[in-house]
């Protein structure tokens, strides 16, 4: 018996899996793309373009989806419709234009800081995929160490601004890392409906952690998958552990079920 809020739940995991599978099949559809920020990286075919614009769009993914998409389109304009080429070949004039960018608390200085770091990653390292995968070992059951290592790599670089660090979450700080986990889902998860890209092969979908937003938290608590709706790393691990019981190879596919059910029931 699991106590969640004021309700009691006495349910087997197979019963929960059946309900999750129903909502996954209901909301995991190609038309999901049109109203979600993931539509922006879908405008590109080159791996580096997809992962770069996906990274920036994921970092600004808070607030209304319409606003996020509008700001993401502005980023694509600033990147001259070619994110990878811009990152490695931009001019000082290009950077000056980027200073005008603002999305909530993410501003032009944050953008310049991350552009400089990504240029370093793509010209001297193995790009974004390599930067995340570097933190993993053969014994890594989740992407926790990858997220920690990515944040540490940026923080220790000469390109990091103190104000920009708050936009790169880390489990070491207790954060649920919602936006970065969403980004990793986009890049890593193999998707038979063509929503997530599955272009990163050095991280397994089984290692992914479910992104936590208010909809996912509420639905997970209502189903009895988590003990309380607290949006921290501990809860993200707890939820993902339960989802692996439903699908060990692709646990975060149920992000579609929980998010979709939450959005549609609250609208």
Residue 228: its pLDDT value, please? 74
Residue 108: its pLDDT value, please? 98
Runs of H (alpha helix) within 125-267: 127-133, 144-156, 178-188, 214-223, 233-246, 254-266
Q: Per the structure block, which two tokens stand in for 203?
A: 């991280």
Domain ranges of the chain: 1-35+210-267, 39-203
Strand runs (DSSP E) across the chain, as ranges? 2-4, 7-9, 102-103, 106-107
Residue 267: its pLDDT value, please? 57
Residue 13: its pLDDT value, please? 83
Identify the burial level of 118 via C-beta atoms within 10 angstroms of its C-beta, where 0-12 means exposed, 13-18 middle and 19 or more buried: buried
What are the per-10-residue average pLDDT scores of the chain (267 residues)?
Answer: 38 87 97 96 98 98 95 98 98 97 98 98 98 95 98 98 98 97 98 97 98 95 87 96 97 98 81
pTM of the model: 0.94
Residue 10: its pLDDT value, please? 42
Alpha-carbon distance of 78 to 98, in angstroms, equals 6
Residue 7: its pLDDT value, please? 39
């Amino acid at each position: 018996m699991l106590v969640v809020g004021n309700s009691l739940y006495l349910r087997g995991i197979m019963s929960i899996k059946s309900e999750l599978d129903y909502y996954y099949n209901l909301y995991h559809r190609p038309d999901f793309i049109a109203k979600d920020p993931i539509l922006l990286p879908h405008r590109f075919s080159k791996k580096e373009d997809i992962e770069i614009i996906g990274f920036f769009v994921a970092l600004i993914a808070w607030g209304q989806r319409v606003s996020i998409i509008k700001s993401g389109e502005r980023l694509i304009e600033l990147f001259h419709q070619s994110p990878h080429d811009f990152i490695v070949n931009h001019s000082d004039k290009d950077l000056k234009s980027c200073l005008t960018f603002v999305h909530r608390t993410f501003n032009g200085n944050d953008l310049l800081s991350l552009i400089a770091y990504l240029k370093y990653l793509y010209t001297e390292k193995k790009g974004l995929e390599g930067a995340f995968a570097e933190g993993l070992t053969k014994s890594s059951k989740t992407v926790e160490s990858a997220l920690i290592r990515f944040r540490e790599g940026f923080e220790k670089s000469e390109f990091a601004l103190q104000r920009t660090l708050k936009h790169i979450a880390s489990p070491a700080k207790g954060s649920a890392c919602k936006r970065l986990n969403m980004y990793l889902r986009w890049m890593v998860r193999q998707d038979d409906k063509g929503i997530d890209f599955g272009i990163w092969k050095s991280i397994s979908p089984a290692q992914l952690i479910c992104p936590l937003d208010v909809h996912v938290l509420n639905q997970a608590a209502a189903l009895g998958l988590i003990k309380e709706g607290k949006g921290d790393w501990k809860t993200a691990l707890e939820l993902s552990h339960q989802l692996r019981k439903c699908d060990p190879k692709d646990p975060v596919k149920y992000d579609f079920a929980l998010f979709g059910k939450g959005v549609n029931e609250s609208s």
